[in-house]
Amino acid sequence: MSSIFRRAGFALVLCQGFSISAAVADDLTPHNVILFVPDGLRSGSVDDATAPTFAEIKRRGVDFSNSHSLFPTVTTPNASAMATGHYLGDTGDFGNALYLPFRVKAAAASETPFLENDSVIDEVDDHFGGNYLNEESVMAAAAAAGYSTAAVGKLGPTLIQNVRAQHTGTIIVDDDTGNGGVPLDQQIKDAIKAAGLATTTPPRSGTTANVDQQKYFAEVVARVLLPRFKKAGKPFFIVFWSRDPDGTQHGQTDSIGTLTPGINGPTSLQAIRNADANLAALRAALDEQGLTATTNIIVSADHGFSTISKESKTSPSTQRAHADVSPNTLPAGFLAVDLAEALGLPLFDPDRFQTPIDYKTGALTKRGNGLIGPDKDKPEIVVAANGGADLIYLPTANAKELARRIAAALLKQDYTSGIFVNDALGDIAGTLPMSAINLVGSAATPRPSLVVNFRSFATGCERPAMCTAEVADTGLVQGQGMHGSFSRADTSNFQAALGPDFKAGYRDKAPTSNADIGATIAHLLRLTIPPQGKLVGRVIHEALANGPETVAFEGKELRSKPAGGLSTVLRYQAADGARYFDAAGFPGRSVGLEPSSGTRPK
């Protein structure tokens, strides 16, 4: 055995409190790990008819029946958690769209770039000293330890697994491969060609299941990477990020303008089957290569999903005509418009070279983001739109007073369901502190001043989380799909695991999260990763072979001081020092919040 694996076998991992069990330490060579991410897969969507492969893994292996996305429940934040094992307060990836104190050239000089773009991620990473996450990723650590590593799939979260992939030997294959993305080593190109595959990724589909592109990704793993990694004779770590069902649930047109069937229509079901088929293909390839017995498969969706509602009776935005927006419905960018109007301030578009927006005539920003204030170069308020929740930044000296005025304006809107405020801005009635949801940590990127959750409601079914609609700040229309909110529909992601290091036929009732996934993978790979921050997930010891039968956990609730009859309520669970967020918002406006007395935060 090489010395590199002996060094990797001594200790673990991300932070204080993690330890390696004696039973596992006896074998210094880690087993392989494949993390399969079915983007946007809800726990309730998995059954033998729709997703037989996912269903088999949770039945034969570990069923994480109490799983959680991190909030905001969007992709790149949860990708950062899986990549590092840290919560968002440490990674600084607070949303798919962020505010940054500089104009990102790769994002058309926007201060609110969309992170699902390799060039944007590279530029942002450079700005923050070569590590915008401020934490070493598990894949980067694995590559440094000499393991074979690769991340394949959806543009953005794939690269986040190891942003400096080309400098560490990690193979990246995503939407932009062969078309300006992370360059492939010539040997990998030759191997792809020898397998009869193209070296340029095919385009993704929009309103139908993403079959062709994901088949290509699966074939690259099955026909190129697995044989290559087997020949190398070293443990490997592969992340496969499936765009489906997320992309199809977003774009499906099964119920345009109506809330049913929404994301429960035939097109979305096809997307779930597509992701399931990709995992089945990978498992078949493992069998063919004789790698099944030495490979752990972990499945974790980044978030759940909801159907889009564009309804509001209080928003001024619904009272105006907007180009390409149905009458009396919320347009993309409604929050930025409503705040600008409530505060009597000008609005500029950060994604269109800071163009002024005359919102009173129905004009809108390009992506829903907004710069608010008299000076576009020194905005008083920045809104970063993120679907079911928006981020608000206050890069001014009068942030405390401005935060109170903004909170007061938001509390008057029927689309708002819960507000979280940066602790540094003080206690504001009707809101909870951002530290309560682990958004205050050691992040290098600017911390939002307020995070606004939007209203969600069930459209009528036996399982409310399976028929949830949410108000969403997006260019998509009512009846299509979105996520990002603090409803249980969006926090309930699918998780399961199968392999030599996991129990068989085990149903884990304890809470788990995407931060736990990163921590657990580091544990399985015997990696020592010095942390910068302290907001970490836990190793899911109870799911591991020879682990404890269970772990103690309890449900808790925080409730803010009321303001105008409204209190932000947070429902969460605690286990082994970690927090798991079930749902939050104003009772009656967030799916997953049942009546309870609750307690004030200390």
- Residue 147 predicted with pLDDT over 50: yes
Q: Kind of pairing, strands 450-454 and 481-482?
A: unpaired
For helices 211-220 and 266-289, what crossing angle results, to 10°?
Answer: 10
Length in residues, the chain: 602
**Predicted TM-score (pTM) of this structure:** 0.95
Per residue in 67-96, pLDDT (tens digit) is 999 999 999 999 999 999 999 999 999 999
Q: Using an 8 Å Cβ cutoff, are 240 and 39 in contact?
A: no
User: Cα dihedral angle (269, 274, 276, 277), rounded to 10 degrees?
Assistant: 140
Q: Using an 8 Å Cβ cutoff, are 70 and 96 in contact?
A: no
CB atoms within 10 A of CB 444: 16
Q: What's the burial of 197, exposed, middle or buried (CB within 10 Å: 0-12/13-18/19+)?
A: middle
Tokens of 449: 């001043």
Q: For 353-357, which contacts have Cβ atoms below 8 Å and span 24 or more sequence positions?
A: 353/108, 353/109
- Residue 246 predicted with pLDDT over 70: yes
Domains of the chain: which residue ranges? 3-304+488-543, 308-477
C-alpha angle 16-526-284 in degrees, rounded to nearest 5 = 130
Q: What is the pLDDT of residue 206?
A: 78
**CA 240 centroid distance within chain:** 15
**CA 601 centroid distance within chain:** 26
Output the CA torsion sign for 336, 337, 342, 348: positive
CA gap 379, 569 in Å, rounded? 31
Q: Tokens 């921590």 map to which residue?
A: 519
Q: How far is CA 478 from CA 142, 279, 369, 384, in A?
A: 43, 31, 19, 21
Q: Using an 8 Å Cβ cutoff, are 597 and 86 in contact?
A: no
Q: What is the pLDDT of residue 467?
A: 97
The dotted CATH code for 3-304+488-543 is 3.40.720.10
Q: Which residues contact 43 (CB under 8 A, 6 or more apart)?
A: 65, 67, 304, 492, 493, 494, 495
Q: What is the pLDDT of residue 595?
A: 65
Q: Which residues contact 231 (CB under 8 A, 6 or more apart)?
A: none
What's the average model confidence in pLDDT over 126-150? 97
- Residue 8 predicted with pLDDT over 90: no
- Residue 14 predicted with pLDDT over 90: no
Tokens of 438: 């682990």
Q: What is the pLDDT of residue 19?
A: 35
Q: What's the burial of 305, exposed, middle or buried (CB within 10 Å: 0-12/13-18/19+)?
A: buried
CA-wise closest residue to 329 among 183, 471, 177: 471
Per residue in 53-75, pLDDT (tens digit) is 999 999 999 999 999 999 999 99
CA gap 406, 142 in Å, rounded? 44
Q: Which residues contact 439 (CB under 8 A, 6 or more apart)?
A: 87, 88, 89, 94, 420, 447, 448, 451
Q: What is the DSSP letter of 69?
A: P
Per residue in 394-427, pLDDT (tens digit) is 999 999 999 999 999 999 999 999 999 999 999 9
Q: How far is CA 570 from CA 344, 398, 467, 558, 567, in A?
A: 32, 28, 21, 5, 10
Q: What is the pLDDT of residue 506?
A: 98
Q: Which residues contact 396 (CB under 8 A, 6 or more apart)?
A: 373, 378, 380, 402
Per residue in 455-508, pLDDT (tens digit) is 999 999 999 999 999 999 999 999 999 999 999 999 999 999 999 999 999 999
Per residue in 169-222, pLDDT (tens digit) is 999 999 999 999 999 999 999 999 999 999 999 999 878 999 999 999 999 999
What's the alpha-carbon Rg for the chain, to the nearest Å?
Answer: 23
What's the average model confidence in pLDDT over 244-263? 97
Kindly state the percentage of the chain with pLDDT values over 90.
93
**CA 301 centroid distance within chain:** 8
Find the farthest-apart pair of alpha carbons in the chain and give their distance in angstroms, rounded.
71
DSSP string, 526-555: T-----S-S-B----GGGBTT--S---EEE
Which spans in 26-68 are helix H? Answer: 52-60
pLDDT tier, 166 (very low <50, low <70, confident <90, very high otherwise): confident
* Side chain identity at residue 310, one-letter code: K
For helices 75-84 and 514-524, what crossing angle results, to 10°?
Answer: 30
pLDDT tier, 594 (very low <50, low <70, confident <90, very high otherwise): confident
Per residue in 354-391, pLDDT (tens digit) is 999 999 999 999 999 999 999 999 999 999 999 999 99
**57-80 per-residue burial string, b: 16 or more CB within 10 A, e: under 16:** bbeebbbbebbbbbbbbbbbbbbb
Q: Using an 8 Å Cβ cutoff, are 492 and 51 in contact?
A: no
CB atoms within 10 A of CB 351: 23
Q: Kind of pairing, strands 578-585 and 569-575?
A: antiparallel
CA gap 38, 54 in Å, rounded? 10
Tokens of 421: 């405020």
Per residue in 430-452, pLDDT (tens digit) is 999 999 999 999 999 999 999 99
CA gap 168, 166 in Å, rounded? 6
